[in-house]
Structure 1
Amino acid sequence: MGYDTQYDVIVCGGGTSGVAAAIASARNGAKTLLIEKTGILGGQMSLSGPPGFAYARLFNPQGKRDIGGLVEETYQRLLKSGHALPEWRSKIREKAGYTFSYVDPEWWVYLIFEMMEEEGVDLLLDTLVVGVTKEENTVNGIIVENANGRNEMKAKRVIDCTGEGYVAIQAGCETACVSRDIIQPHTLAFTVDGVDWDKLLTYIRTNPDQFSFKQLIFPYEGANTREEVEDMYRKCYDIKELGEIMGFYELRDMALKNGDWHPYSGAGFFLTPREGGHIQAHFQHSSQVDHALPTDAWDLTRCNIECRKQNMIAWRFFKNYVPGFEHAYITKTCTELRLREGPRIVGEYILTRDDVEACRQFEDTIGKTSFKAGGYHVAAMDTLAVCVDGKTDMAFPKDGGSYDIPYRCLIPKTIDNLLAAGKSVSTDRPAYLRYLHQTMVTGQAAGTAAALSVKKGVTPRELQKDIKELQDNLVAQGAILFETR
């Protein structure tokens, strides 16, 4: 059996940015290959979590939608097929930093594989990209290793969607990354079923001060007050209204005193939807390991070992201290670490904290976003493993508005025919775009740009000269670029 080794566009990495890039590239007529190191697509939606959470940030705190495109398209398809819940738009959430639009993560993965087949994307799974081929500063292919051995594949355009900029680094791109001492902690999530939600909600309603109001507050004038949020907890009879539950302060402090809780993070979990409106608890912040670089395999190994130990500590705490968890059980532990921070390319433009806070618009915008940018929200998660200063390492858009992501952030400064999407796009640390909806926005833009540049016979860098064609194409795909709605 023969295999293709030449493509218009090769996308490296099958996470949320990679699947968006591959679909967009193929839709625009490019012969497209998507390569993934594991046997499953979806990244944070399937392997590392929190699954189903990409759809939590479609609106800015002013109540205007600023995320569309493939994020909205996949949500609507799952909603129609019964594998997503309608958007929850309570009054308290309209002022919040984000709202919730649940999807079932398992069915999201099935949908993505279906869309790959619909669009004619070739897949190469269980394959690691170990190098690139190039002439001077122009990338013209990649080197892979898999069950077939070590092989070279040619491409007119390569898109790095690895999340950690692995391909960009191999290509010789300049990158920026914080040191091991202050890098955000990586986590290993697990999911739980069998929770008695009525019993837990009774505890929440009678102890509203025990939960993190900061999770719902966006720091701009007119945002929720502590009293408003606590009143929401007092009146909550439907677990789906919460989306996430963070706090349990008195119980956690009691467990700390008894030696039954680890001093690495706050106590809480997200809600994960399942078929038929069923809800599970997904623990994303129960474990975390500091001082680990995603470019060091020894560090990643240490993280995997230590996070599992911390998961067991967290699980015993919930089983023994938290009402409603007495008969709950673990159904799944994620197979990959959620790598919160890693290398970012130095691109044609570096998105900055000032850009985010000013809700800056750019002539070469390829999408909008509004959720806080940058690092780990230390205050909100109440972590004791302090790696990020919330005052200096995070950026919040003014007045709860939206800001633009410029196309130039996807283009490495000195390397041609390579695009980046996802977490490794060009930003400073406070403007770091690591959230799932942001990675899909940049992925869709990168895939579209790669295909258009091939069609026009120009480099992705040269495509900037006719940015309107790229923008028109993205708008036709449902992306929101110029006006929130």
Structure 2
Amino acid sequence: MTVERKSETTPKQYDVIVAGGGPSGTMAAIASSRSGAKTLLIERYGFLGGMITNALVGPMQSFHSREEQLVTGIAQEVIDRLVAVGGSPGHVKDMVGFAASITPVDVEKLKYVLQEMCIESSVHVQLHTVVTGVRMDAGSIRSLEMFNKSGASEAEASVYIDCTGDGDVMWLAGVPFEKGRKKDGLAQPMTMMFRMGGVDLTEVRAFMKSHPHEFVLVDGWESCSHVGVSGFFSLVRSARLSGELSVERDRVLFFELPVKGEVSVNMTRVIRYDATDGAALSAAEILSRQQVMEVVRFLNRRIPGFGAAYLINCGTQIGVRESRRIQGKYTLTADDVLSGRTFDDVIARGSYPIDIHSPDSGELDATELNRGSAYDIPYRCLLNDHVHNLLVAGRCISATHEAIASARVSPTAMAIGHAAGAAAALAATSGAAPGDVDVRCIQRLIAQQGGNLGIGHETRIEE
């Protein structure tokens, strides 16, 4: 029997199309739609949230510098709504002291909050859909080709935002990009995050109190409401020497989740694999789940508080720290980050340390900003010289290997996404290219939507 497959011959029309429903993409779509643009959000999974929800990357770090809250606006609205439904305690002090604040989240409740905010903002959400191609016309994207259970289709818009994380749209459109570190192209390792329940955090705290030299701890850590562990160094070293633990990791790293006795574990490490290579990504997924089982056994046998703990789930996919980065009109550098550089065309701000998980070993190299400092992310990092109606947001912005190690974190990605959505809406509704929109208008709109581009905001870190 022959079954006729339905296809759409006329592309659907939008003002703005956002590819990728992660932290940057959801913020971009909400900001765009709230700014008056008819907006489509395309997401390959059946839910929104990206690395936070599909890869369990958490807690969120950091909404704050040491002095103020940098990421506000729509991103803070997400947290406020999560707190209201019992999905987060809000911003709390980081026991490890690596970030100014951490924000534990219940990923299932986050999926719900993000979809409801999109619906309420009149975003057209298309789940289980992947971008398969780009149709170009004289240096601009004419349409995106997509595929889902209904088959192939197309959608057209005035402005497109690539929030895929891997820069899939800009790659398909032929925009130049970079990957990995300069000397050999190796990117930061991928990690399969996983949740464990039944952890006795009282026992963990007691061990930390009696063995403080085994941990990275902030001053006054005992008063922190939520446990964060970076340590058990000697136990990890012993297990590696005995062959019990083969994962290239030098420490136990986990954080307490909103549900009592549950933690998010960040200990697997898949090095020398390219997240934009299909075969390599498949191999990385398989290896990472093998590592999860090895780590769980180690935690059960060796780590205080984990004797009766159990695996709840792994991420839907492996967590990716770095892949393609667009060659933009300006490239954010490590010096920009560390010096707290300001820019006239600022559209977001960050303060997370340069956090480089070695691409070829188990080491972690972190370079902190000066206390209280923050840096600007200029609008030019979202633009390029090759495709005039394309913006990028999230970890595929124009930045060096070192700079993206700071700017890649989810709150910063949310702020960048917010800016991209506001800029795209202004461009689409005025008939201008994104690069021709007056950045002061973008800044004004971000501020109207609650974003912080330099004006002091109330700090909301719960002690």
On whether the aligned pair clears a TM of 0.5, the verdict is yes
After superposition, give the CA deviation of every residue in 1:340-367 in whole Å (9 maximum; x if it has no partner).
1111001111111221122111111111
Q: Does the 8 Å contact 1:395/1:431 carry over to 2?
A: no
| Identity between Structure 1 and Structure 2 (%) | 31
Matching residue within 32, 35, 38 for 1:28: 35
After superposition, give the CA deviation of every residue in 1:387-442 in whole Å (9 maximum; x if it has no partner).
x8x4xxx7643343011111111112221111100000011121112111111111
After superposition, give the CA deviation of every residue in 1:304-330 in whole Å (9 maximum; x if it has no partner).
111111111111111001121111111
1:114-263 counterparts in 2 under 5 A?
A: 114-178=116-180, 182-213=186-217, 216=218, 229=219, 232=220, 235=222, 240-242=225-227, 244-263=228-247
Q: 1:436 and 2:420 equivalent? A: no
2:424 & 2:168 partners in 1: Cα distance? Answer: 19
Q: 1:43 is matched by which residue type in structure 2?
A: G
1:351 & 1:100 partners in 2: Cα distance? Answer: 24
Q: Does the 8 Å contact 2:236/2:252 carry over to 1?
A: no
Q: Does the 8 Å contact 1:211/1:248 carry over to 2?
A: yes
In the alignment, which residue of structure 1 is the partner of 2:112? 110
TM-score (norm 1): 0.87
Q: 1:15 and 2:17 equivalent? A: no
2:82 & 2:33 partners in 1: Cα distance? Answer: 21
Q: 1:144 is matched by which residue type in structure 2?
A: M
Q: Does the 8 Å contact 1:143/1:152 carry over to 2?
A: yes
1:270-309 counterparts in 2 under 5 A?
A: 270-274=254-258, 278-284=260-266, 286-309=267-290
1:338 & 1:263 partners in 2: Cα distance? Answer: 16
1:371 & 1:181 partners in 2: Cα distance? Answer: 23
Q: Where do 5+ consecutive residues of structure 2 fail to align? A: 1-5, 458-463
TM-score (norm 2): 0.91
In the alignment, which residue of structure 2 is the partner of 1:341? 322
Q: Does the 8 Å contact 2:347/2:376 carry over to 1?
A: yes
In the alignment, which residue of structure 2 is the partner of 1:423? 395
> Which sits farther off after the overlay, 263-272 or 167-176?
263-272
Q: Does the 8 Å contact 1:374/1:429 carry over to 2?
A: no
Report deviation, 1:469: 1.1
1:430 & 1:184 partners in 2: Cα distance? Answer: 10
Report deviation, 1:279: 4.4
After superposition, the CA RMSD in angstroms is 2.3
Q: Does the 8 Å contact 1:356/1:395 carry over to 2?
A: no
Matching residue within 248, 266, 273 for 2:250: 266
Report deviation, 1:295: 1.4
Q: Does the 8 Å contact 1:362/1:404 carry over to 2?
A: yes
Cα separation, partners in 2 of 1:140 and 1:300, compared to 1, 3 Å = same
Report deviation, 1:25: 0.7
Q: 1:371 and 2:376 equivalent? A: no
In the alignment, which residue of structure 1 is the partner of 2:424? 450
Q: Does the 8 Å contact 1:271/1:279 carry over to 2?
A: no
| Equivalent position SS for 1:375 | strand
Q: 2:429 is matched by which residue type in structure 1?
A: K
In the alignment, which residue of structure 1 is the partner of 2:381? 409
Aligned residues: 446
Cα separation, partners in 2 of 1:377 and 1:476, compared to 1, 3 Å = farther
2:180 & 2:98 partners in 1: Cα distance? Answer: 30
Cα separation, partners in 2 of 1:124 and 1:107, compared to 1, 3 Å = same
Matching residue within 76, 79, 83 for 1:79: 83
Q: 1:37 and 2:44 equivalent? A: yes
Q: Where do 5+ consecutive residues of structure 1 fail to align? A: 217-228
In the alignment, which residue of structure 1 is the partner of 2:434? 460
Cα separation, partners in 2 of 1:181 and 1:473, compared to 1, 3 Å = closer
Q: Does the 8 Å contact 1:346/1:412 carry over to 2?
A: yes
Q: Does the 8 Å contact 1:246/1:268 carry over to 2?
A: yes
Q: Does the 8 Å contact 2:334/2:403 carry over to 1?
A: yes
1:46 & 1:281 partners in 2: Cα distance? Answer: 15
1:248 & 1:372 partners in 2: Cα distance? Answer: 22
In the alignment, which residue of structure 1 is the partner of 2:62? 57
1:105 & 1:147 partners in 2: Cα distance? Answer: 26
Cα separation, partners in 2 of 1:74 and 1:425, compared to 1, 3 Å = same
1:118 & 1:44 partners in 2: Cα distance? Answer: 23
1:298 & 1:81 partners in 2: Cα distance? Answer: 40
